[in-house]
Amino acid sequence: MFEVTERARQELQAFFADRDVQPVRIFLKTRTCGGPRLVVGVDAQQEGDVVFTVDGLTYVIEQGFFEQIQPVTVDFYENNFVVRASVPFGEGCRGCGEAGNCS
């Protein structure tokens, strides 16, 4: 299962309003203050991706990775995209520059 919340859809539509629309990739970013986390980025579709189309936007995730972490929900909260999955990522600390961080 793959879902994009209404708020995330609105933010992505606004992002692409004055740009060429490209696929949005969901991937694991390993070098973050709070530990590995799922993020979104603009990228080309690759062989071996699972592809979802929601409101005219294409989302891509490496198929084997998607099978391990599904269901996936893309949301937008406090000025950031948040990707939730069945596997927790980024649980280690709160993040860069925040009280109680890992630095």
**Strand, coil or helix: 80:** strand
Give the CA radius of gyration of the chain.
Answer: 14
Per the structure, how many domains does the chain have?
Answer: 1
Residue range of the domain that includes 76: 2-85
Alpha-carbon distance 95 to 34, whole Å? 5
Does 101 reside within a domain?
no
Does 100 reside within a domain?
no
Total-model pTM: 0.81
3-state helix vs strand vs coil in the chain, percent to 5: 20, 40, 45
Does 20 reside within a domain?
yes
What digits encode the pLDDT tens for the residues 1-48? 999 999 999 999 999 999 999 999 999 988 767 678 899 999 999 999
Alpha-carbon distance 68 to 41, whole Å? 20
Does 90 reside within a domain?
no
